[in-house]
Amino acid sequence: MSNLFSSAHDTIKQLTSKEIKASDLMKSTIAQIWEVNDQVNAIVSLREEQDLLSDAEAADQVPMDRRGPLHGLPIAIKDLADAKGLHTSQGSPIFAGQIAQSDALPVARIRAAGAIIIGKTNTPEFGLGSHTFNPVFGTTCNPYDPSRSAGGSSGGAAVALATGMISIADGSDMMGSLRNPAAWNNVYGMRPSWGLVPGEPKEDVFLHSLSTSGPMARNPKDLALLLSVMSGADPRLPFSMSNEGLLPVEPANLSGKRIGWLNDWGGNLEIEPSLLSDTLSAVQTFSNMGASVDILPAPFSSAALWESWKTLRSWSLAASYISYFETPHLYDLLKPAVLWEIENGLALSGLDIHNASCLRSDWYAQAARLFEEFDVLVLPSTQIWPFPAEQVHPTHINDVELDTYHRWMEVVIPASLIGLPVVNVPAGFGDAGLPFGLQLIGAKGQDAALLSIAQAWHEAKDWPNVRPPQL
C-alpha cells in the first residue's frame, strides 16, 4: 500500500515506474479518509468509492506518453471552486446541493493534468472569516487539537494535507486563506503573484484584484508542481502571467541573502506575546542558514493599509454578492459577515474607492523600494494561536477589542493588498503543541525565487514530517 505522507513528487515517481498503481493509491486514500475524516471534517462531498476506484483503474491503463504531470494523484477541490459533477455549496445554504456543470479554470487545468478529483474540501460560507465552519457541512477541526479552529478559508484543504488524505491541494486567498490554515496545520500554502493563476474569464476582469487561487502541499517542491499546473497566461484575461521558470525547484543558497523581519509592524499589530516570541526565534533560523536578518520598522502606515484594504474588500464583495442581498428569501440565508461587507460596500462612493486604490499604489511603490534592499520580507502568518472551534471569530487580542470580524488577520494584508507572492512556511510549535508559521513575501513575479528560498527552509526544518498530527 502507498505511504500517504510521501511527497507528491515521490508518489508520481512511483506511479510512473509502476512501483505502485493508481488503483492501490486510491484504495489507500479512501482508507485514510474513512480512518480520520470523521474526526476532522476536512473532505466533503466525497464521491462514491466505486466511481473513484474505476477512475483509478482507468488511469492505470493510460500509456506513459499520454500521462500528465499529476496523473493518478487524488485531489479534493476547495468548495468555493466548481468541479464538474460535484456539489459546489460555497458553504452556503443558498447553494446546498447545487451540482457544478463545468470546471473552474484552475480545476480544469488540474483535471487535464491527470489528477483524480475525489471530492471537495470544506470552507467557511463564501470563504469569509478565516475559520472553517458553515451551516451546510459544519466545522473543520484542527488535527493538532480538535477542539481548536483549523483556520480558513482553505481550512479543509490544509487539514486534509496534514492528515495524509491528499498530498496536494488547491485553495484560494483573499485575506490569508492559503496562509492562516497552512500555519495552523503545519503545512505549506502559497498565495502566488496576482495574475499567475488566472481567475474565471467572466464578469469584471479588470477591477477586483484582491483574491487569487494557489497551491497547498507538505513541501515547496510540491507547491511548485501544482502551481505549474494551475498557472499560466489566459488570453481572455488582461493581467494573467506566464508561468515559465517555476520548475524545477532547487533550494536556494541563503549565504548573503538579506531577510527583512517586519515583526509586529513596528508595534502596530496586536500579536499574542508567546506567538511573537516564537516567530522571532524561528526567524533566527535564517541566520543559521547564512542569511542576514534585519529587524525593520513599520515601512508604511498600518492605519492606511487597513483603510485601503477594508474599503477595497467590501467593494469587491458587495459586487459579488449584491444579488443575494437584494433577494429577500436569500438575504435571510446570508451570515452576518457577508451582510456587513455588502452594507459597507454599498455605502462607498467612487472617490472612496479611488482614494483606497491610491493608498494601495503608494504601498506598492514603497514595497518595491524595500525589495531593492531585501530578498525576502517576513511576517508572522497569524496574530493568535488557534482559537476554540465553537467561537465564530476572535473578539480580542491581548485584551484589545477588535472592531471587525476579520481584524485578527490584519497581518496578511500587506501582501494581499498589492498582489505579492507569499508562502507560509511551517515554523514550529508553541507550548500547547499547536503549530505556527511565517509568511515569506517576495517581489511581484519572483514566485520561483521565493519557492527556492522556501525549499531551503524546508530542507533545514521539515516540520510536516518531523511532527505530523496524531489523531
The pLDDT of 175-191, averaged and rounded, is 98
The pLDDT of 371-384, averaged and rounded, is 98
For residue 106, pLDDT over 90 is answered with: yes
For residue 105, pLDDT over 90 is answered with: yes
Structural domain spans, the chain:
8-303+352-466
| Strand-strand pairing, 292-295 and 258-261 | parallel
At 203 the pLDDT is: 85
Mean pLDDT of the chain: 97
| Strand-strand pairing, 43-44 and 116-121 | antiparallel
120 catalytic residue (yes or no): no
Torsions phi, psi of 17, nearest 5? -80, -5
Domain 8-303+352-466 has CATH 3.40.109.10: no
**Beta pairing partners, 114:** none
Q: E strand or H helix at 191, and its extent?
A: strand 188-191
Q: Which of 78, 221, 310, 335 is catalytic?
A: 78
Confidence tier at 202 by pLDDT (50, 70, 90): confident
40 — alpha (psi -120 to 50), left (phi > 0) or beta?
A: alpha
pLDDT digits (tens, 9 = 90+) for 244-294: 999 999 999 999 999 999 999 999 999 999 999 999 999 999 999 999 999
Rounded Cα distance between 86 and 117, Å, is 9
Q: Which of 153, 172, 231, 240 is catalytic?
A: 153
Torsions phi, psi of 160, nearest 5? -60, -40
Q: Which of 2, 45, 130, 177 is catalytic?
A: 177
pTM of the full structure: 0.98
pLDDT digits (tens, 9 = 90+) for 318-367: 999 999 999 999 999 999 999 999 999 999 999 999 999 999 999 999 99
The amino acid that residue 134 corresponds to is N
> HSE on the CB side for 236, CA within 13 Å?
9
Residues 6+ apart with CB under 8 A from 63: none
Q: Per-residue DSSP letters for 324-336?
A: HHTSHHHHTTS-H
Q: Per-residue DSSP letters for 205-259?
A: SSS--S-EEEEEESSHHHHHHHHHHH----TTSTT----TT--S------TT-EE
pLDDT digits (tens, 9 = 90+) for 47-72: 999 999 999 999 999 999 999 999 99
The pLDDT of 212-237, averaged and rounded, is 98
Rounded Cα distance between 55 and 72, Å, is 9
At 2 the pLDDT is: 65
Rounded Cα distance between 394 and 409, Å, is 10
Of the chain, the percentage scoring pLDDT greater than 70 comes to 100
| Contact between 162 and 187 (Cβ < 8 Å) | yes
Confidence tier at 227 by pLDDT (50, 70, 90): very high
Whether the bond into 153 is cis, omega within 30 of 0 = yes
Rounded Cα distance between 269 and 193, Å, is 24
CA gyration radius for the chain?
A: 21
78 catalytic residue (yes or no): yes
pLDDT digits (tens, 9 = 90+) for 387-443: 999 999 999 999 999 999 999 999 999 999 999 999 999 999 999 999 999 999 999
177 catalytic residue (yes or no): yes
- Residue pointed to by grid coordinates 454599498: 346
C-alpha cell at 8: 507528491
